[in-house]
Amino acid sequence: MADSAAPAHTAKTVYHSVANTHPVKVAASGVEVFYADKQALHGINLDIQDRSVTAFIGPSGCGKSTFLRCINRMNDTIDTARVAGSIRIDDEEINDRAVDPVLLRARVGMVFQKPNPFPKSIYDNVAYGPRIHGLASGKDELDAIVETSLKKAGLWDEVADRLDQPGNSLSGGQQQRLVIARAIAVNPEVILMDEPCSALDPIATARIEELIDELRENYCLIIVTHSMAQAARVSQMTAFFHLGHLVEYGPTEEIFTNPRDRRTQDYITGRFG
Amino acid sequence: MGAIALAIAFLGVLLGTIVLQASGAFTNYVLTLPVTLEREIADPRGDMSEASLRRGSYNQLIQRSLQSEFPAASSRADLRELFGLYSGLNAASVMHRVIADPSLVGSTIDVTMPANHEIDLYLKGVTVEESITAGSGTIQAGAISGDITLSSDSPAFANAIARIRQQASSERDALLGRAARLEADAAGAASRDAREAGLAAARRAREEAARFDTVIDPETRITLGPRTASLLIRLNGGVVAVSALTPDGREAEGRVLLPLESAEASASWSEWVIETPAAARRITDQQAVYARALEERGMVERRFNTNLFLNADSREPELAGVMGAFIGSVLTMLVTMLLAVPIGVGTAIYLEEFAPKNRLTGFIEVNINNLAAVPSIVFGLLGLAVFINTFGMPRSAPLVGGFVLALMTLPTVIISSRAALRAVPPSIREAALGIGASRTQAVFQHVLPLAMPGILTGSIIGLAQALGETAPLLMIGMVAFVADAPSLGLSGLTQPSTVMPVQVFLWSGASERAFEMRTAAAILVLLTLMIIFNAAAIILRRRFERRW
Amino acid sequence: MQLSLITALALLVLTAVGFLAGRSRALALAEKDGSRLHSLPGYHGYYVALWAGLPGFAVLAAYALAGTMIVNTIVLDRMERAAEPLQARYELALANDDIWSEAEREIARLDDEMAALRGEAEQVIAAEGVQSDAVEALRARQDELQFAQDDARFTRDARANTIAGDIIQAVPEAGDHALARAGFEFARLPVQEREVFLADARALAFGDGLASRDTPELRATAGALQPVHSAIAWGACLGALGLALAGLAFARTHLAVRFRARNRVEWVISATLALASLIAILTTLGIVFSLLFESLRFFAAIDWRVADFLFGTQWSPQTAIRPGQIGQSGSFGAVPLFAGTALITLIAMMVAAPVGLFAAIYLSEYADSRVRAWAKPALEILAGVPTVVYGFFALLTVGPLLRDFALFLGYEDAVTQSALSAGLVMGVMIIPFVSSLSDDVINAVPQSLRDGAYAMGATKSETIRHVVFPAALPGIVGALLLAVSRAVGETMIVVMAAGQAANLTANPLESVTTITVQIVTLLTGDQEFNSPKTLSAFALGLVLFVLTLILNIIALRVVQSYREKYD
């Protein structure tokens, strides 16, 4: 269905004009990804603004998650994956050999589709990152980091009295907020979220969306989502991916009200996807 | 259903027969003698030094004590039978006691030692059938010792004669029947050789049968010999072994095995028949009499067999125990564990978490799968050729045994560890990597702890396999007879030793009947160990099993 | 030993010091620089500790492995040089001695004669076969010559001993001369006694173990060993400590705020893990090469009559054969062993295959969870019973039972150790193996296949017979092949219950022997190494290894492709 509706050969991306309210945080140019011999991404050029939420939308297998994983070099962990092109964060090339992906991932936090707290206590979940990065020089400092992170993630009030309980004992939505707190704890600049609400019920989803909106004030957030409504609710910018191409990129409102590419239009109106 | 029942029935029969066979080995008869440690024998140099005490002839002291119990035993033959009640090796334990406490010299101590294994089996009623019945009528002994005649006014021995005749005639009939069958077979035999062989066998059977004729004939004197049951008469506190009876049952000739207290006529006597013929048993009438006499005097009693658990191997079944093999097993397993578990888990971590998927790692995988199915004996050949012949390591040593078993166990540990690592969901790795943990940190701080129960379960099962393994250890000389348990420490690693399953193998090949039940007992010890190992694995699995 | 132990402890201390030094330096650097370290201070500590510990321990390990050998080599070399004048005198004396020279010539002459005889024998054998009278005569003649040569050797060696004794007598016992005497004596010792000599000398020098003798020569050797030993030991230990200190200092200079200590330490960890995984390959290589090498020696010892080994029907390795003996063939024909192995395996599989398979089908298709909860552990216990226990069971219970039963049926030649009892018990042993493998295979058949059959109205047993079983068949074949390989390689049951007699028979009531039994028989008890008898065990091992390897590879292939089909 998808293939018949869209001319697959068009490689040109439609860019909407953007009011430069925030500086560019992540700048991608010519990013290509191959899994073994299969090309998963074709020449992606994309500038992402700081202190805002950017949503990646598109049908399954369009490459939005793949691109997301390029931003913190998670693709390095897959043996067969090969990444080409340039991604700069604050003008620093992250695909440079001199960059330690491990340190990069501390700067670019990630939240996954299914909540994946470590099977340890709530406290240890949040404290793990600061510990391995040497962010706290003492127990008090660590406690403070844990507390602020949990507060920022809006979880503190619910767990303050049971920090020593296992992270898995929380509800799904709480777990996902715990994971967000865990990501915040290492003081990242960018937070990547890969369909963070797809495993949650509507109420928990609403809570997370609220949280995302709050976090926008301090972080550059990039969120992959299947739900167009969610993209419309939380994001300021939207990028539409299709078959490994970036089709259209612009302010969320414009993308949803005035898509310029046929494929975007078809996707948004529900013709495929 | 039937198949399962069959398999479980096999298991039941297997365990049942072994428990049954082993049951006799857990107790044994011990002999307690008051031994006077005469100074000049215990301390030949007279200076009470350890060197002097070591040269003491403690066996002689034990012999003296035993002799004083049976003053009538004086001929060489008598004494040989008397001293056959125990093993001279027991003198060593007396020596150790004296060396530990030299002040004992000159005093009389109680020495407790296991009875000879044949005596033990006899007293347990395993090897010899016997019966005691009260005699009727009054009999009179001609003397109180030596070769004597027992006479009676009434046919006092008629019962015994009837019984002997009955036994003899049934044996004669069996022999004649066999001869007839052999002859029939020979008549239809294919070749001349076979026919002649068959006829010869039949002739031999007939000759043997003819020997019973004299016993069965009611007119002739009955002589008892090694092929017939033994008839002993208990009278006046003594025992007479009957060698001949008159057909009228009024007179018997015999030799006194235990002196009578008096030669008075007595009506309270009994017939003690040892039905198993002397030729078919390993103890003599005389020894049976000694053993029973000591039992009556309270010097022989049945006790829990501590030797079986505390001693190392011995040529004498009553002194043999599994301790040496147990220590050998512990040392060998330690080496196996210290090598196989770290190397196996390391390999599993590397292949599962670090290794790039390329030809080399693919080859390693195929390799490990094949190694898992290589017969264990081949690992023994490897150990012999490489460790012993090339590297010149000592034979029969737990160190080398541990090496060989470690190599053998390695594939099991690797395969189960990999399965455990694979069972940890990738989301855990992603979570750790996502907040900036390195791969090593993710593996060692998150994945490995979660996989640990599975890894431990697999390792324990692998070690249990190694614990029960025999064949490769035969190749590297761990079948040696080792009478001293290796020391439980670093130096023990290179001392000659054996392990539990090999001990089972060694004992199962021994000719003494007493070893048979000890083999079964050793198997029970081994199975207990295996069950402990496996139960530990199952508990670990149940307790820490995690469903993702 | 003491010294190296102290050094090892010192190295441990240095390693710990390295860790602390590294960590505190990293902390100080971070303080001074005011920025964050790349790696946690602990990793800087580990980095320095590794540099401090690894080289030092490597040196110490090398010394532990090769130290004794180096010391021995140096001292023996020194002894040899000291003994040179004595050796020269000895050789001159031998050359001038008539008796010795005469014996030497006689030996050479007899060698030639025997070589000629062997040539002749080959022709005769080619013409008349091995069993002819002519060959018999030649063989007798060869024995005669051999005896004569043995005599000559004895004369020669006795004479040489006398001369050597005279020479030694002329040398004083003290000082340097003692070492010369020791070297001379050592050179004249046969190879196996040299080891004893060295062990005695070491015992005298270092007190490790008891010396079996105490002679001036041994004392001299011990005296020479001591200084060399301590020099090398001190060298190794001081070297190790020096390297540790140097490594520590060197690594400490690396440390910087941006220094990637963690990456370096992690590289060492993953390299160690990679090395561990090479052990599996080394094991395989070790097996292949040791078996091949010893087998080649065996084949060389039987004059490369590989076909006789593989296809000969006469197995009697106990017959000692002299090198080059005429017409001694057929005693290493392994066919009876192969046949015995095949017979027992067949019997075992006749028990294990149906019972194991039906158990698996029952467990995976019919049994409810309560039965499974009982039956599975029971099968696991059956699988965990050591084979020596099965062997005991076969020997003492099954064997006599079968014999009595056969006697009862009128079979007069029944024996306790028979192929049948070993095969039956081995079959029982393999049941759990077959059933658990088949269970896996049957469980791997997708539920959709079964649902499809049920949807068409098939009954349970029809579904199993027509759908599940055919679908699982390749996997089951693989499982059975693995079981066969297991049966072929099983040792203890057959050693205890099948007997030793190399009968070539298909009668399961007779005792037969197998490859594994013969390996055990040949390699236990008194054995002289290098005799073809002992080496033949390795050739059998090679056959066994190749056979099981082929079975395993086929089986693993079959099972794997089967798994992939349904994954």
**A204, two tokens:** 């928990």
Locus of tokens 């390391």: B346
Residue spans per domain, chain B? 2-126, 130-280, 318-544
Question: Does B357 contact A at CB distance below 8 Å?
Answer: yes
With an 8 Å Cβ cutoff, is B346 touching chain C? yes
Residue A273, pLDDT score: 56
Taking Cα atoms as reference points, which of B77, B81, B92, B85 lies closest to residue B121? B85
Q: What local confidence, expressed as pLDDT, does residue C322 receive? A: 53
Would strands A108-111 and B230-235 be described as parallel, antiparallel, or unpaired? Answer: unpaired
Beta-carbon count within 10 A of B27 CB: 15
**Tokens representing residue C398 in the block:** 């099954």
Give CA separation, A185 vs A143, A193, B105, C365, in Å.
11, 15, 81, 52
Length of chain C: 567
pLDDT at B4 over 50: yes
- Considering only CB atoms, A134 lies closest to which of C36, C260, C263, namely C36
Asked if residue A49 lies in contact with residue A237, where contact means CB atoms within 8 angstroms, the answer is yes
Strands B238-245 and A108-111: unpaired
Residue-wise pLDDT tens digits, C246-255: 999 999 888 8
B441 touching chain A per CB within 8 A:
yes
Q: What is the pLDDT of residue B547?
A: 53
Give the DSSP letter string of B135-165. --S-EEES-SSSEEEEEESS-TTHHHHHHHH
Pairing between strand B230-235 and B270-274? Answer: antiparallel
Interface of A with C (CB under 8 A): 100, 102-103, 132-134
Instruction: Report the CATH number of the C336-566 domain.
Output: 1.10.3720.10
The three-class DSSP label of residue A39 is: strand
d(CA A265, CA C122): 96
Q: Which of C294, C380, C387 sits opposite B385 (nearest CB)?
A: C294
Per the structure block, which two tokens stand in for C70?
């180096």
User: How far A102 CA sits from the closest chain C CA (Å)?
Assistant: 10
Question: Are C263 and A134 inside 8 Å of each other by CB?
Answer: no
Whether residues B346 and C538 touch (CB distance < 8 A) is answered with no
Is the complex ipTM higher than 0.85?
Answer: yes
Q: Inter-chain contact A179–B356, Cβ cutoff 8 Å? A: no
pLDDT score for C292 = 95
Count Cβ atoms within 10 A of the Cβ of residue B382 and give its class: 0-12 exposed, 13-18 middle, 19 or more buried.
buried
Give the C-alpha distances (Å, rounded to integers) separating B36 from B40, B192, B301, C555: 11, 69, 21, 72
pLDDT, position B546:
61
End-to-end CA distance of chain A: 9
Q: Is B18 on the interface with C (CB under 8 A)?
A: yes
Whether A100 and C41 lie within 8 Å, measured CB to CB? no
pLDDT surpasses 70 at C525: no
Under an 8 A CB cutoff, do B505 and C391 touch? Answer: yes
By the CB < 8 Å criterion, does A117 face chain B? yes
Residue partners of C208: CB distance under 8 A and separation at least 6: C1, C202
Count Cα neighbours of A215 within 13 Å in the Cβ-side half-sphere: 36
Which of C290, C355, C378 shows the shortest C-beta gap to B11?
C378
Report the chain C residue with the minimal C-alpha distance to residue B19: C393
User: In the structure, how many helices (H) and strands (E) does chain A have?
Assistant: 11, 11
Spans of all domains in chain C = 2-259, 336-566
What is the dihedral sign for C-alpha B492, B494, B499, B502? negative
Alpha carbon distance B391, B155 (integer Å): 80
CB contacts, 8 Å: C390 with chain B: 14
Quick one: three-class SS letters along C46-91?
Answer: HHHHHHHHHHHHHHHHHHHHHHHHHHHHHHHHHHHHHHHHHHHHHH
* Average pLDDT of chain B, as a whole number: 89
Residues C516-525 have a mean pLDDT of: 87
Instruction: For residues C60-84, give the mean pLDDT.
Output: 88
Distance from C-alpha of B125 to C-alpha of B310, rounded to nearest angstrom = 25
- Measured between CB atoms, does B416 come within 8 Å of chain C? no
Residue C209 at interface with chain B, using a CB cutoff of 8 Å: no
Mean pLDDT is lowest, of A93-107, B264-278, B515-529, C115-129, for C115-129
pLDDT tens across B315-339, in order?
Answer: 889 999 999 999 999 999 999 999 9
**Structure tokens, B57:** 């002839």
- The residues, ordered by sequence, that sit 6+ positions from C440 with a Cβ below 8 Å of its Cβ are C475
**Set of chain C residues whose Cβ sits within 8 Å of the Cβ of B502:** 388
Name which of B427, B428, B435, B448 to mutate to probe chain A: the one with the most chain A Cβ atoms within 10 A of its Cβ: B435
DSSP A147: H
What gap in Å lies between CA A191 and CA B286, rounded to an integer?
97
Q: What is the dihedral of CA C316, C317, C323, C324, to 10 degrees?
A: 30
Chain C: partners with 3+ C-beta pairs within 8 Å: A, B
Percent of chain C with pLDDT over 90: 33
C41 shares contact with chain A (CB less than 8 Å): yes
DSSP codes of every residue in C20-43:
HHHHHHHHHHHHHH-S--SS-HHH
Which of the 8 DSSP states describes residue B465? H
pLDDT digits (tens, 9 = 90+) for C297-328: 988 887 788 888 888 888 877 654 455 555 44
Give the model's pLDDT for residue C495. Answer: 92
Nearest to C491 among B376, B414, B439 (CB): B376
The most confident of A73-87, B160-174, C537-551, by mean pLDDT: C537-551
DSSP B278: G
- Report whether C396 contacts B22 (CB < 8 A): no
Domain boundaries, chain A: 2-268
Q: Does C264 touch chain B (CB under 8 A)?
A: no
- Give the pair of three-digit tokens for residue A7: 């001319």
* Alpha-helical regions (H) of B241-397: 285-296, 307-310, 323-349, 359-372, 376-382
Say what the pLDDT of residue C131 is: 67
E strands within chain A?
Answer: 14-15, 24-35, 38-49, 53-57, 81-89, 92-93, 108-111, 190-194, 220-224, 237-242, 245-251
Contacts with C, B 438-467, CB within 8 Å: 438-440, 464-465, 467
The domain covering A2-268 belongs, at the CATH homologous superfamily level, to: P-loop containing nucleotide triphosphate hydrolases (3.40.50.300)
Chain B CB contacts of C492 below 8 Å: 470-471, 501, 505
Is pLDDT at C373 greater than 90 in this prediction? no
CATH number for the domain running over B318-544: 1.10.3720.10
Q: How far apart are CA B407 and CA B393, in angstroms?
A: 16
How many CB atoms lie under 10 A from the CB of residue C275? 14
pLDDT of residue A3: 39
Report the C-alpha gap between C370 and C363 in whole angstroms: 11
546-565 of C, contacting B, C-beta below 8 A: 548-549, 552-553, 555-556
Instruction: Using CA coordinates, name the residue in chain B closest to A182.
Output: B435
Flag whether pLDDT at C118 surpasses 70.
yes
What's the CA dihedral at C426, C427, C429, C433 to 10 degrees? 130
CA B434, CA A185: separation in Å to the nearest integer? 12
| Strand-strand pairing, B238-245 and B251-258 | antiparallel
Return the pLDDT at C188: 83
pLDDT at B275: 86
pLDDT at C319: 53
Tokens 């490769």 label which residue? B472
> Given this model, what pLDDT does residue A2 score?
38
Distance CA C142, CA C145 (A): 5
Sort out which chain C residues have CB atoms less than 8 A from A102's CB and list them.
Answer: 262
Place of tokens 């009559």: C305
Give me the torsion for CA of B118, B120, B124, B128, rounded to 10°: 20
Distances (CA, A) of B45 to B52, B57, B91: 6, 12, 19
Among B123, B31, B94, B509, which Cα is nearest to B313's?
B509
Report whether pLDDT(C351) > 70. yes
Cα separations (Å) of C485 from B278, C264, C342, C542? 50, 45, 11, 14
Across chain C, mean pLDDT equals 86
Indicate if the pLDDT at residue B17 is higher than 80: yes
The residue-averaged pLDDT of C140-168 equals 87
pLDDT in tens, B65-86: 999 999 888 888 889 999 999 9
Residue C474: the pLDDT is 87
What parts of chain A have a pLDDT lower than 50? Answer: 1-10
Is B16 exposed, middle or buried, given 0-12, 13-18 or 19+ CB atoms closer than 10 A? exposed
pLDDT for res B280: 86
| CA–CA separation, C348 and C327 (whole Å) | 39
Q: Predicted confidence band at C167 (pLDDT cuts at 50, 70, 90)?
A: confident
Residues 6+ positions from C549 with CB-CB distance below 8 Å: B370, B374
**How far is the C-alpha of B37 from the C-alpha of B62, rounded, in Å?**
9
Q: Which residues of B touch C391 (CB under 8 A)?
A: 505, 508
